[in-house]
């Protein structure tokens, strides 16, 4: 009889725990929308890219994306399609210190990828490096030897993870509490000096990427993806054309962003139990933004 009396409270406690676990699982389900955007695919795992730091939409193939791992990994560009399916990997013949971003843009030779070795967690690097290579083909085992640009900041070292390109202008956004915006122009010299042109008022910016027409840039933090008109930024403006809240998407550690037409791509690092990165694809109804 005593054992029966014990069973009832045990069952009640077990039922309560199961209910709490189900409630917790329900509350942690990611949203299916973010502002004007709807999730149309993912998250899908990015095999081989546990630390997807930067993200760029190919200029040669709108359905192709490029990404790479963070510092401490080989210098390799990974290609995958918009569904996250791997399409290939291409080695870059360089040794990077803290590769944080990759950007796609036009260049004198056609379509190029810009590799931003700009990470500097302790803000001690007197020079950072930016590499430019023609966008490789999927069957290439290695990129062409890159052009190397040595870069400094006019006001001293900064940590940064985000760079974007518009014409001959390169922009870096610092990763700090204010999101300082710096600009340098490629004009024949391989030495670049980035001048501060404004602040975006953003903390911990992790990526930025210009659209195909180079009129708009999408910038991301852990909490938001923001669209700016590049023309406004060139005039020291700092008001975004659109803010997209992304907290509810429950990314493991949001890092990369790219915008191709109405499609917004978000990449993140992997989770402890599965180190593959993640890719989310959203379709957005954009007013006054996009390419």
Residue 42's domain is classified under what CATH number? 2.120.10
The residue range of the domain holding 270 is: 31-284
Q: Which of 83, 86, 98 is nearest to 53 (CA)?
A: 98
CB of 273 closer than 8 Å to CB of 252: no
Helix (H) or strand (E) holding 8: helix 2-27
Q: Residues 6 or more apart from 136 whose CB is under 8 A from it?
A: 77, 90, 113, 143, 144
Q: Is residue 82 part of a domain?
A: yes
Q: Is residue 110 part of a domain?
A: yes
pLDDT at 2 exceeding the cut of 70: no
For 202-217, what is the mean pLDDT? Answer: 97
Calpha distance 290→224 (Å, rounded)? 16
Q: Is residue 125 part of a domain?
A: yes
Proportion of the chain above pLDDT 70, given as a percent: 87
CB of 80 closer than 8 Å to CB of 68: no
Task: Identify the band that residue 51 occupies on the pLDDT scale cut at 50, 70 and 90.
Answer: confident
Q: What is the pLDDT of residues 159-198, one digit of tens each?
A: 999 999 999 999 999 999 999 999 999 998 999 999 999 9
pTM of structure:
0.89
Calpha distance 109→141 (Å, rounded)? 20
Q: Is residue 24 part of a domain?
A: no
Helix (H) or strand (E) holding 11: helix 2-27
Please, is 108 exposed, middle or buried when counting C-beta atoms within 10 Å of its C-beta (0-12, 13-18, 19+)?
A: exposed
Q: How many distinct structural domains can be found in the chain?
A: 1
**What is the maximum alpha-carbon separation in the chain?**
91
pLDDT at 245 exceeding the cut of 70: yes
Q: In whole numbers, what is the pLDDT of the chain averaged over residues?
A: 90
- Coil, strand or helix: which one is 204? coil
Q: Is residue 12 part of a domain?
A: no
pLDDT at 274 exceeding the cut of 80: no
pLDDT at 227 exceeding the cut of 80: yes
Task: Identify the band that residue 21 occupies on the pLDDT scale cut at 50, 70 and 90.
Answer: very low
Q: What is the pLDDT of residues 57-85, one digit of tens each?
A: 999 998 899 999 987 789 999 999 988 99
């Amino acid at each position: 009889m005593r054992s029966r009396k014990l069973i009832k409270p045990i069952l009640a406690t077990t039922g309560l725990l199961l209910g709490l676990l189900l409630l917790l699982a329900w509350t942690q389900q990611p949203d299916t929308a973010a502002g004007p955007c709807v999730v149309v695919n993912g998250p899908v795992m990015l095999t081989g890219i546990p630390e997807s730091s930067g993200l760029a939409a190919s200029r040669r193939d709108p359905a192709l994306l490029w990404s790479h791992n963070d510092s401490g990994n080989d210098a390799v560009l990974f290609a995958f399609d918009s569904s996250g399916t791997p399409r290939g990997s291409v080695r870059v013949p360089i040794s990077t210190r803290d590769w944080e971003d990759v950007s796609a843009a036009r260049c004198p030779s056609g379509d190029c990828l810009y590799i931003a070795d700009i990470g500097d967690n302790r803000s001690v690097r007197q020079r950072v490096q930016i590499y430019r290579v023609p966008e490789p083909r999927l069957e290439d085992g290695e990129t062409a030897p890159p052009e190397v640009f040595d870069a400094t900041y006019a006001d001293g070292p900064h940590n940064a993870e985000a760079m974007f390109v518009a014409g001959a202008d390169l922009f870096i956004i610092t990763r700090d509490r204010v999101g300082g915006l710096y600009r340098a122009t490629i004009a024949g010299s391989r030495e670049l000096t980035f001048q501060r042109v404004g602040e975006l008022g953003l903390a911990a910016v992790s990526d930025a990427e210009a659209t195909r027409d180079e009129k708009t840039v999408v910038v991301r933090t852990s909490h938001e993806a923001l669209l700016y008109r590049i023309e406004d930024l060139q005039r020291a403006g700092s008001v975004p054309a659109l803010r997209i809240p992304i907290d509810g998407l429950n990314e493991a550690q949001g890092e990369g962003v790219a915008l191709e037409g109405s499609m917004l791509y978000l990449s993140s690092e992997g989770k402890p139990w599965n180190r593959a990165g993640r890719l989310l694809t959203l379709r957005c109804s954009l007013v006054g933004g996009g390419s």
